[in-house]
Structure 1
Amino acid sequence: MTTLQDKVKAMSTMEGDQWIFSSNSLPSDPRLMATLANGYLGTQVYGDIFHVNGVYNGAGGNCHRADIPSPCFRLVAAKEKVLTETFALNIKTGTFIHTLQCPSFTATQQIFAHRSYCHLFVNIVTLMSTQGSHPVSVNLQSKFKIESPDLNLQEGPDFGEYKYIFGSTLQSETDSCPVKSIHMIWTPVPPSLELTGSKEKTWVFLTAVCETENNVKEKFDEGLTLIAEMQLYSSHERAWAEFWAQSCIEVESSLSTIQAVNGCLYYLLSSLPQLGYTGEFYGISPGGLSNGRSKEDYWGHVFWDQDIWVYPNILLFYPEMAKHILKYRIRTLKGALQNAQEQGYKGAKFPWESALTGCEVCPDSIYGDLELHINGDVLLAFQQYYYLTKDLDFFASAGGWEVVSSVAEYWCSRVVWSEEEQSYHLNGVMPPDEYHWDVNNSTYTNALVQTSLHFAIDLAVSLEHHIPDIWKDVASKIKVPYDPKIKYHPEFDGYEIGQTVKQADVVLLGYPMMFPMTIEQRMNDLQIYESLTDPDGPAMTWSMFAVGWMELKKIQVAQQQLEKCSANITEPFKIWTENADGSGAVNFLTGMGGFLQAILFGYTGLRIAKTHLSFDPILPDDITRLLITGVFYLGNKLNFTLYSDIITIEVTSVLGGQNCTLEVYFNQLEPRLPLNIGRPVSFPTRAGQVQLKETDSTCT
């Protein structure tokens, strides 16, 4: 009989550990434990708390993810000596596996947040005797207590043989926002498990977490049915397989590179709800859903990290998932409108730190008041979605236009006219470089103002809406600082070369903003700021320098920058820290998002433009092949296979109801290459673009 342990060993051997991060010991820093999440429910393995997406406690700057007690546990040998012990995170199935090998038995624990039944968290323990029917036992070590600093918990009547608690958060984010309720049913955890009279036995410990009593009972019953039908784990495994089957990144390179890519993609996907999800989603915080308790990992708030760093990777593969992120901004627009009004301006000012309502919840007001670039970051995500999907209905009837127009109104009310320079200025701001604040005309922020307004104007034309004259005027006359002598973009008015910069700032003009500039200007920006950026700054910074150098075909320089990212990856579970010294947020999705963008948009040269999806690949010597499967463009799913000298593009499917025929375009003097399902086209590595076939004028 093949045991679970045998299967894990076989899988690890066959796949060269590219999907399995294993160790014989746990990290000494508990912050670096593997995390399990499914977009609704998240926790650190062996942690004593759950977090639920959208459930916060505390008002204003004290708002943070509410701690919900978790009945999770760890296996500990009761009497026998442990021969071997392994801890493995299988990122292909989103499962953590703990194995204890003792002289007379093997104990295995599988832990997972169910990928498709998102209200369920599961522990499965299997004991297998290796010495006949000799009784064996294992202890279950748990820190579970029915208490929380964030919830007024009460014990309810038992749900059959299972335990039930409920309560609500103690304080809402704003006076107008109701408190959140939590209900939890779980399998009681005994002090130990004993195997007698048989060679093998399995126990299932089920937990359901919901926001109403009826729902939690319904979801727990669903879990019991899955157990009875022996479908609990297989349904979870199938849901993860569906994610990986739709889109994936295959890198032929070193094992460390492969694991870094796969690990980042796993943790990002874990922050999303299941495919086909129709409920409300409350955004992605820098530390993910498993982190964010009071005063840790940015309290679980949502920043620009979501829109600029994480979102593009999700959009390229899963536009329906990306739409959930945009819907979060639409639902919090009311709070953004209130923020602008409180500042004395029109339109919407999205909060620097956002939770449930869209009102500002940053604990330090200077960031919330001055870091205005968040508005442009949000709009850039909306713009990328529209260019990739041409989903005009989303803007016409689902609230997208209200966000776009409200941000445009804010910019136009916030700028001031300079008679001296005959341009609009944006004064008193903080750029992404938070080492400088209350500066005038942040280059990154002002470039976003122009980009936002150009998009708002174009969208208004498509929707046949009136375009205010002020939008056009500000878009054409907003000052974007530039030094014509050195031919670079100073970070803000009065910036002097030599001043240290915290993180990626001006370098973001080239990508992801695609702000117009010459090759010389782009190179100068990269060279100047690379030497001035704090080497101890946050993880995502170096990936953006890498993308810039790839644009300029300086692959060795790009690799040097990208290698700096590896300092932020911790062992054994590939958890990223915000800073290379281990400080800052952990499970830092922002750093992972930047790193993946260097793979998906750097090596490939992919750019989401208004009328096409361009590409311009370059691979380093240590990557012999890069396969990107499931790239979405105008209803088509495409695979890109890249070698140093050959590119292959193939349309693998067209979504139902879509009618967008694509082609590859190089220049006016060369024939276009039609892209049809199942008929890949190959050509020597070079720049080009995927676009709507010339004979097609619309996409339906």
Structure 2
Amino acid sequence: MSSTEDPWKFFSNQLPSDPRLMATLANGYLGTRVYGDILHVNGVYNGAGGDCHRADIPSPYFRLHVDKEKVLAENYCLNAKTGTFIHFLQCSTFTATHKIFAHRCYSNLLVNIVTLTPTQEYDQVLVNLQTKFKIESPDLDLQKGPDFEDYKYIYGSTLQSEVESCPKKSIHMIWTPIPLTLHLSSCQEKTWVFLTAVCETEKDVKEKFTEGLFLIGNKQIYSSHENSWVEFWEKSCIEIDSSLSLSQAVNGCLFYLLSSLPPLGYSGEFYGISPGGLSNGKRKEDYWGHVFWDQDIWMYPNILLFYPKMARHILKYRIRTLKGALQNAQQQGYKGAKFPWESALTGCEVCPETIYGEQELHINGDILFAFRQYYYLTKDLDFFASSGGWGVVCSVAEYWCSRVVWNVKEQNYYLNGWCKHEYYCVMPPDEYNRDVDNSAYTNALVQISLNFATELAISLQHHVPDTWTEIARKIKVPYDSKLDYHPEFDGYEKGQKVKQADVVLLGYPIMFSMTSEQRKNDLEIYESLTDPNGPAMTWSMFAVGWMELKKIEKAQQQLKKCFTNITEPFKVWTENADGSGAVNFLTGMGGFLQAILFGYTGLRFSIS
């Protein structure tokens, strides 16, 4: 196998013209685009309410450049196996190698390693380090602190917190100064290590930077990073006997998704995964770094399958933001918890567009579905009894019970588009339709949520309110008996365009009870009506559905559509096939991985 045919290494002799499509490096705490002038830290946001976004932190990045030497060869490689971006430069008298990585184990560290190797005798080698690094940020009141030994130090705090009760976040950064040039004046190979440490206190940043210096001194800075990735891959590798393109697509998805998680054994606070990952999310880009249902429905199942303990971090994030969700429900005039459509630190709604925050109620069911999957896989009852899981489950159940209304004519419960307040309506995952009654997907999740709450209450020996079982049994999920399919909502007319996967999710992952013929009809009807320019995760769900029905050719056709969202050379996904929307779109990657892990295998999370 030649190096260009390695399923883990993505090579190119040039960088993408669109900097949004650069490879990203992250480790669950910090993230950046390669050669990007900013980095982000998990949980550090600036701006109040709908203006809340990931805070831009200036990044001491640089690129290698030579002026006087002729470049004989140059290439770039993202090594997904080791979580490292490599720039290789070959000139007549020397080679230069630049490695960049967000340390997989020491997650406060961003590292650049440059090695110059002579290939023949010379007088002197000069390599320029190009950078536009400036100590400024629109989101932080940065100040220069006294040098830490021979290294630079800045600190500051965010300008505005998400809500008044939420304290501002502080950032402290120490880094190796970036010289204009590197000199090689002997005929021996030489290596320079440029270290950046980012923390939220002065004490921590000095400790973490010192740890990094210790690793450098013992020549362990890279090996410790590489070994941590080896440990990750031991538990999550997917081997595919297929084409190179499919293998690289799968490995790229896994790499970017796992890069969004903290190290194994991490015990600190984690603030969730946004659609564009930790490397993206600045103001007005890539959903501003907020957390959506994308995390709970699209990314989470893949993480849960391989790393149940890591999956707990996602559930703990929802537990930590329960207080804000309770406030959201109270503001709407309901009981229980209404989790925000877009979430940051507090669980209060931070969606810039009010309509989505008010109407996409299915987020409550999406979150509870993730808790349910965890319970079914692990049977970890203690997590619900002692770690706050039960608080989320019963609060969502209480919200549904206060939100539904009884329809006397049909003798069932409705999730109406107006309910108590005209402006609190319902929008299904298909965002082309709003103000609807009885979204099939949302109402199915109401039923599943209440059944799970009942089941868990019994296991925990808690009282089960009669309303939980009553509403679960009688909630309306629209069904057309003539056409034998599920209309998306009451009043849906067959032929209306659909933005993205919606009703098809009833089959997988929801596993709503239906016949094979109903499943086939849902797939056939909505496949032809779903916007071909919709978000990337959609086609994976059609693929899973056709695999369930043993229609492998149809499944392959749908899965193939995913490849139009994968950009070269570094396998960065775009939200939409035309390149628009969020980049490094982990939601699409999560759907694609589910098609591989749950579609081809038929694996499901269910109670035994």
Alignment of 1:555 with 2:545, yes or no, is no
Contact kept, 8 Å, 2:361 with 2:427, in 1: the verdict is: yes
Question: Which residue is 1:676 aligned to?
Answer: none
- Which of 485, 489, 492 in structure 2 is aligned with 1:495? 492
Please state how far the C-alpha of 1:13 moved relative to its aligned partner.
Answer: 2.9
- Which of 185, 192, 198 in structure 1 is aligned with 2:187? 198
Question: Which residue is 2:566 aligned to?
Answer: 569
Q: Which runs of 5+ in 1 are unaligned?
A: 1-11, 612-700
- Which of 272, 279, 302 in structure 2 is aligned with 1:313? 302
Q: Distance in 2 between matches of 1:282 and 1:504?
A: 26
Q: Aligned residue pairs: how many?
A: 600
Q: Distance in 2 between matches of 1:330 and 1:525?
A: 35
Question: Which residue is 2:416 aligned to?
Answer: 427
Moved more, 147-156 or 73-82: 73-82
Please state how far the C-alpha of 1:541 moved relative to its aligned partner.
Answer: 0.1
Question: Which residue is 2:606 aligned to?
Answer: 609
Q: Distance in 2 between matches of 1:158 and 1:268?
A: 36
- Which of 170, 176, 192 in structure 1 is aligned with 2:159? 170
Which string of whole-angstrom CA distances, capped at 9 and with x for unpartnered residues, describes residues 11-48 of structure 1?
x7368321100100000110000000000010000000
Question: Which residue is 1:267 aligned to?
Answer: 256
* Residue aligned with 1:439, SS: coil
Question: Which residue is 2:9 aligned to?
Answer: 20
The runs of at least 4 aligned residues of structure 1 exceeding 4 Å deviation read none
Q: Distance in 1 between matches of 2:96 and 2:278?
A: 29
Amino acid at match of 1:210: C
Amino acid at match of 1:323: R
Contact kept, 8 Å, 1:132 with 1:199, in 2: the verdict is: no
Amino acid at match of 2:513: P
Alignment of 1:439 with 2:439, yes or no, is no
* Residue aligned with 2:71, SS: coil
Q: Distance in 1 between matches of 2:250 and 2:149?
A: 45
Question: Which residue is 1:246 aligned to?
Answer: 235
Which string of whole-angstrom CA distances, capped at 9 and with x for unpartnered residues, describes residues 370-427 of structure 1?
0000000000000000000000000001000000000000000000111111111001
Amino acid at match of 2:115: T
Q: Distance in 2 between matches of 1:608 and 1:468?
A: 26
Question: Which residue is 1:687 aligned to?
Answer: none
- Which of 570, 575, 579 in structure 2 is aligned with 1:578? 575
Alignment of 1:323 with 2:320, yes or no, is no
Q: Which runs of 5+ in 2 are unaligned?
A: 418-425
Q: Distance in 2 between matches of 1:499 and 1:522?
A: 19
For 1:290-439, list aligned pairs within 5 A: 290-428=279-417, 429-439=426-436
Moved more, 403-412 or 75-84: 75-84
Contact kept, 8 Å, 2:93 with 2:122, in 1: the verdict is: no
State percent identity of aligned pairs: 78
- Which of 73, 80, 88 in structure 2 is aligned with 1:84? 73
* Residue aligned with 2:140, SS: coil
For 1:18-97, list aligned pairs within 5 A: 18-97=7-86
Which string of whole-angstrom CA distances, capped at 9 and with x for unpartnered residues, describes residues 145-179 of structure 1?
00000000000000000000000000000000000
- Which of 89, 98, 111 in structure 2 is aligned with 1:100? 89
Q: Distance in 1 between matches of 2:556 and 2:224?
A: 40
Which string of whole-angstrom CA distances, capped at 9 and with x for unpartnered residues, describes residues 628-672 of structure 1?
xxxxxxxxxxxxxxxxxxxxxxxxxxxxxxxxxxxxxxxxxxxxx
Q: Distance in 2 between matches of 1:50 and 1:182?
A: 12
Please state how far the C-alpha of 1:331 moved relative to its aligned partner.
Answer: 0.1
Q: Distance in 1 between matches of 2:547 and 2:123?
A: 63
Question: Which residue is 1:660 aligned to?
Answer: none
Amino acid at match of 1:91: A
**What TM-score, normalized by structure 2, do the two folds share?**
0.98
Amino acid at match of 1:37: A
- Which of 213, 230, 233 in structure 2 is aligned with 1:224? 213
Question: Which residue is 1:237 aligned to?
Answer: 226
* Residue aligned with 2:495, SS: coil
Q: Distance in 2 between matches of 1:243 and 1:537?
A: 33
* Greater strand content: 1
Contact kept, 8 Å, 1:418 with 1:424, in 2: the verdict is: yes
Quickly say closer, same or farther: Cα 1:62–1:113, change in 2 above 3 A.
Answer: same
Q: Distance in 1 between matches of 2:395 and 2:575?
A: 32
Please state how far the C-alpha of 1:134 moved relative to its aligned partner.
Answer: 2.8
Q: Distance in 2 between matches of 1:356 and 1:250?
A: 37
* Residue aligned with 1:165, SS: strand
**What TM-score, normalized by structure 1, do the two folds share?**
0.85
Which string of whole-angstrom CA distances, capped at 9 and with x for unpartnered residues, describes residues 254-278 of structure 1?
0000000100000000000000000
* Residue aligned with 1:446, SS: helix
Please state how far the C-alpha of 1:458 moved relative to its aligned partner.
Answer: 0.2
Alignment of 1:531 with 2:522, yes or no, is no
Please state how far the C-alpha of 1:199 moved relative to its aligned partner.
Answer: 2.5
Question: Which residue is 1:142 aligned to?
Answer: 131
Q: Distance in 2 between matches of 1:483 and 1:529?
A: 14
Contact kept, 8 Å, 2:4 with 2:11, in 1: the verdict is: no
Q: Distance in 2 between matches of 1:226 and 1:362?
A: 42
Contact kept, 8 Å, 1:98 with 1:109, in 2: the verdict is: yes
Question: Which residue is 1:461 aligned to?
Answer: 458
Q: Distance in 1 between matches of 2:414 and 2:600?
A: 36
Alignment of 1:213 with 2:210, yes or no, is no
Amino acid at match of 2:311: A
* Residue aligned with 1:285, SS: coil
Q: Distance in 2 between matches of 1:325 and 1:197?
A: 52
Amino acid at match of 1:439: V
Contact kept, 8 Å, 2:321 with 2:347, in 1: the verdict is: yes
Q: Distance in 1 between matches of 2:351 and 2:517?
A: 39
Q: Distance in 2 between matches of 1:248 and 1:334?
A: 37
* Residue aligned with 2:191, SS: strand
Q: Distance in 1 between matches of 2:346 and 2:273?
A: 14
Contact kept, 8 Å, 2:66 with 2:127, in 1: the verdict is: yes
Question: Which residue is 1:600 aligned to?
Answer: 597
Question: Which residue is 2:511 aligned to?
Answer: 514
